[in-house]
Amino acid sequence: MAKTTGNKPTAGGSLSDQKSEIRSMLPSVLGCTILLLLGIVLGMCKYPVVIPVVLFFLGLHLWFFGKAKVRLFINLGFLIAILIFGVDVINSYPHVTPLYIPVASFTMLTMLLFNDLQLVFMMSFIASTIASLMTGSPISFMLTFFLSGLTGAYAVRGARTRGRLITAGIYVGLIQVLCALLLNPVVTPATFELVIKPLLINGFICFFIVVSTLKIFETIFGEVTNFTLLELADASSQPLLKRMITEAPGTYHHSLIVSNLSEAAAEAIGANSLLARVGAYYHDIGKMVTPEYFTENQLVSGNKHDDLEPSMSRLVILNHVKEGIELARKHRLNQKIVDFIPQHHGTGLIFYFYQRALEEANGQGVEEENYRYPGPRPQSRETAIVMLADSVEGATRSLQEHSSSKIDDVVRKVINNRFIDGQLDECNLTLREIELISSTFSRVLTVMYHGRVRYPEKKTNGHHNKKSPDENSHPPASS
């Protein structure tokens, strides 16, 4: 945060202020210019020039809701441009009824790509209004496509199978027919042929358009849908997960537990549970580069860090984030998955090695900042959940006793430490959601460890392995 000195701004400061002001105005100027050009083009093509005004209010609405991101404007504008082009093409064939225009497919795509009900509502209104204005159709046309657009979007919400998309297409067709019947209850063979049949077929056209173009839009827009997330979760086909199973089995097992915890917590607070689960699978892929330096992969061999200076251990631990990002980029993982790699540690402290460095240097010349991860801190609810699940998993794994109350104590202490450290400051989690996440973690972990404590091992002459430091390196829950 910039310090307020109360001094007059310097000449350099006012210049940079002006520059940043111009920069912040640039998207608005660019948007208005595009809308003006669109109005001119539509006017030249004899289409209603009110369309750019409608789009202007769409932009204004997004602005007021704090969603005014240039990329989102471009993506939605691209979809609307395709709609305008498609309607223009259909208009050039006078014998084709506009009832075949797959307006609902645009709202279905918006829902699958952005998973945002507000955007869907706006897109449904905009798409049906534009199609109605450009084809010179009555208000009933606009109303029918507005309602079918909403129906299609609600039907594909959270879809993970193609079956859901087919069902959505059928719903779209049926709602359109229902609207047509409510607007004109008298059905003759002519109205069946000219209205009912095209509206039913329209639902199937919507389904085909969504299925055939979803992957293309996903790639162009850089978004990740549930279908891609499911592909990424398949360990038998994803090279990174396959490699982790053989090269860092302990890390793979740790990632599975973190993913289970994250999925349950995300579901509890209504976040994207599939994104949280898949993000957790990939959050520690960087450990595959030097797996033997991480607790979960150290079996009977000694702790590799015993022979290293704390400053060297710090480098190895920090490196798993850097290596992870590089591996993810190399395998072209979506940015939304890559985000989990740096954000699951945020700017957290590598506590264990920081303490060791302090002890060895008698508290002299050891900068805390050097023992912190580079960040950024979690920017979404899903990355924050994975951060907390990761910390909680490490802390409960090292417990001697896994009773329900002990687990609950540790979970609360670990989450509280993260909260006090400011790691949850940028992720929009509310206190109520943090409480829900905490109770979900306790419940899942209690059930998970319940089976283990019921089967005590036979006493042998074996020895306990020396505890290795955990890469999470939060303050030990018991301290």
Of the pair 438, 472, the CB lying nearest Fe ion is at 472
Instruction: Tally Cβ neighbours within 10 Å of residue 167.
Output: 15
Of the pair 339, 390, the CB lying nearest Fe ion is at 390
Min CB(126)–Fe ion separation in Å: 43
- Per-residue binding string, Fe ion, 373-402, x by CB under 5 A, is -----------------x------------
Contact 232, 193 (CB under 8 A): no
Contact 335, 326 (CB under 8 A): no
Of the pair 218, 284, the CB lying nearest Fe ion is at 284
Min CB(284)–Fe ion separation in Å: 4
Of the pair 284, 382, the CB lying nearest Fe ion is at 284
Among the listed residues 284, 296, 339, 382, the single contact to Fe ion using CB under 5 A: 284
Tokens of 198: 């095209």
Tokens of 324: 């992870």
Q: How many residues bind Fe ion (CB under 5 A)?
A: 2
Q: Which of 100, 127, 118, 88 shows the shortest CA–CA distance to 208? A: 100
Min CB(373)–Fe ion separation in Å: 9
Min CB(470)–Fe ion separation in Å: 9
Tokens of 295: 């607790």
Min CB(252)–Fe ion separation in Å: 11
Of the pair 413, 474, the CB lying nearest Fe ion is at 474
Q: DSSP class of residue 403? A: -
Stretch that binds Fe ion, among 2-10, 27-35, 282-290, 401-409 (CB under 5 A): 282-290
Min CB(269)–Fe ion separation in Å: 21
Min CB(387)–Fe ion separation in Å: 9
- Within the chain, what is the greatest distance between any pair of CA atoms? 93
Between the alpha carbon of residue 371 and those of residues 123, 324, 358, 387, 479, the distances in Å are 47, 19, 11, 18, 19
Min CB(261)–Fe ion separation in Å: 11
Of the pair 382, 390, the CB lying nearest Fe ion is at 390
Of the pair 442, 473, the CB lying nearest Fe ion is at 473
Q: Which of 294, 132, 107, 59 shows the shortest CA–CA distance to 206? A: 107
Backbone angles phi, psi at 435, to 5 degrees: -65, -40
Q: Is residue 154 left, alpha or beta, with left meaning phi > 0 and alpha meaning psi from -120 to 50?
A: alpha
Three-state secondary-structure class, residue 86: helix
Three-state secondary-structure class, residue 207: helix
Stretch that binds Fe ion, among 10-18, 88-96, 283-291, 441-449 (CB under 5 A): 283-291
Tokens of 259: 């993913």
- Per-residue binding string, Fe ion, 242-281, x by CB under 5 A, is ----------------------------------------
Of the pair 263, 284, the CB lying nearest Fe ion is at 284
Contact 368, 354 (CB under 8 A): yes
Binding residues (CB under 5 A) for Fe ion: these are: 284, 390
